[in-house]
Amino acid sequence: MLNDLPSQAEDKILALMAQFRADPRDDKIDLGVGVYRNAHGHTPIMRAVKSAETILLETQETKSYVALAGDPAFTRAMADLVLGDVVAQNRIAAAATPGGTGAVRLAFDLVRMANPDARVFVPGPTWPNHLSILDYLGMPTVTYRYFDSTTCEVDVAGLLEDMGDLRAGDAVLLHGCCHNPTGANLALTDWQAVIDIITTKGALPIIDIAYQGFGDGLDDDAAATRLVASSCPETLIAASCSKNFGIYRERTGLLMAVSNDASSCDLAQGNLAYLNRQTYSFPPDHGARLVTMILEDETLRADWQAELANMRAGMLSLRQQLASELRTLSNSDRFDFLAGHRGMFSRLGASPEQVARMREDHGIYMVGDSRINIAGLNTDTVPVLARAMIDAGV
Ligand code: LMR
């Protein structure tokens, strides 16, 4: 029977990781998968996470189940981190999930259960796994224009025009900050225009926020999500703790369903618990507990925020160095967009052939659409990438 299974195409980002590992060159550079790295190429365990783990080791008395939707304290702490006080707690239904991907999957499941005919509008481009999950669930998608490959900025006019096709009962996937894969983001004023269309059409916003704190700061990065959640009657928010707490393998995420009123909130809560039960029963707890401990403790929280600010500043400075290096080498300002992008990623605007050339000639690995992970660079490798880009004719 297992012989009858269809063969599956490999995930492009994960396939690239394997290709990089197999490359014997010592000076190869990994700009592929979205994992933060420090200047030494290491993905550290954050100090506050280590401290919380040490405390937990001494104080945790049981590993018994928590609850189908996870610990309510985790929900409260994360709702506060993502939404601040813009939405009343009694409008927020939520479930802890295995990572941000688990939250995204749960969001799509919930939409499909609420409206089997819902179309999901997705940005062009988006994280490839969004499309893969939607395809797996058999949910129809409509791509709205997002990235203008000439300017390497958001095509705001195209986006608003395409969202004009939304119908009541459709859902719209939006990246809360630090757009993956392009690094180009909407300004807050553009978000207001998006909200106006979504509310006029009666569509449901789904916000994927996986990089809060990697752009301009924890509050700045959450500003758009807060605006949407406080303006629209209903919003789904898939939040990840993988990157900003650096706990990738602990699989820590949360889906929040901001509901119109307390009774639809109860309904959503019941459905989220049901969906968790059908999928994996209880969500993982270890990462969620660490996050809760850090967010609830003044000292741990301050230390976490300081380390996160440091990581963010490092990425920002690498962006600026790359843009300035390219300004010199290309004798033009056509790469200045790199300094304006935010988050871990930027799309360089290179063709697949140019991407292949940089890989073959210089051992530089990036996703085929020319997405780079800025955190894969350091001050020594920025000039190497800049030179390779010019050599490849980008
Ligand atoms: C990425 O986009 O590289 C990350 O979100 C990791 C992943 O799972 O693809």
Question: Tens digit of pLDDT for each residue in 257-278?
Answer: 999 999 999 999 999 999 999 9
The arrangement of secondary structure in 65-296, i.e. its CATH architecture, is: 3-Layer(aba) Sandwich (3.40)
pLDDT at 292: 98
Q: Please state, in angstroms and as integers, the Cα–Cα distance from residue 283 to each residue in 56, 104, 252, 256, 272, following that order.
A: 18, 14, 9, 14, 11
The predicted-structure confidence for 31-67, as pLDDT tens digits, reads as follows: 999 999 999 999 999 999 999 999 999 999 999 999 9
Q: Which residues, other chains included, contact 352 with Cβ-Cβ below 8 Å and sequence gap of 6+?
A: 368, 369
Q: For residues 13 and 127, what is the distance between their CA atoms, to the nearest angstrom?
A: 10
Q: Count other C-beta atoms under 10 Å from residue 88's C-beta.
A: 11
> Quick check: CB of 34 below 6 Å from ligand 1?
yes
Tell me what pLDDT residue 35 has. 95
φ/ψ of 168, rounded to 5, equals -55, 135
Structure tokens at 4: 């009858």
pLDDT at site 390: 97
What would be the CATH architecture of the domain defined by 11-44+313-391?
Answer: Alpha-Beta Complex (3.90)
Each residue of 126-178: pLDDT tens digit? 999 999 999 999 999 999 999 999 999 999 999 999 999 999 999 999 999 99
Could you state, in order of their start, the residue ranges of all structural domains in the chain?
11-44+313-391, 65-296
Least Cα distance to 80 among 350, 366, 291 occurs for 291
Please tell me which residue in 118, 243, 268, 288 is annotated as part of the active site: 243
Find the helix or strand (DSSP H, E) in which 256 lies. strand 253-258
Task: State which ligand 1 atom lies nearest to the alpha carbon of 127.
Answer: 2
Instruction: Identify whether 210 is a catalytic site residue.
Output: yes
pLDDT value, residue 326: 98
Atom of ligand 1 nearest to the CA of 181: 2
Q: Verify whether residue 162 is a known catalytic residue.
A: no
Please state whether the predicted TM-score (pTM) of the whole model is above 0.85. yes
Atom 6 of ligand 1, nearest CA residue: 34
Residues 372/31, Cβ–Cβ less than 8 Å: yes
Give me the half-sphere count of Cα atoms (radius 13 Å) on the Cβ side of residue 241: 33
Is 191 a known active-site residue?
no
Using pLDDT thresholds of 50, 70 and 90, give the confidence band for residue 352. very high
Instruction: Average the pLDDT over each of 10-14, 66-70, 130-134, 211-215 and give the range with the smallest value.
Output: 10-14
Measured CA angle at 240 (ends 163, 279), to 5 deg: 90
Q: Which residues contact 54 (CB under 8 A, 6 or more apart)?
A: none
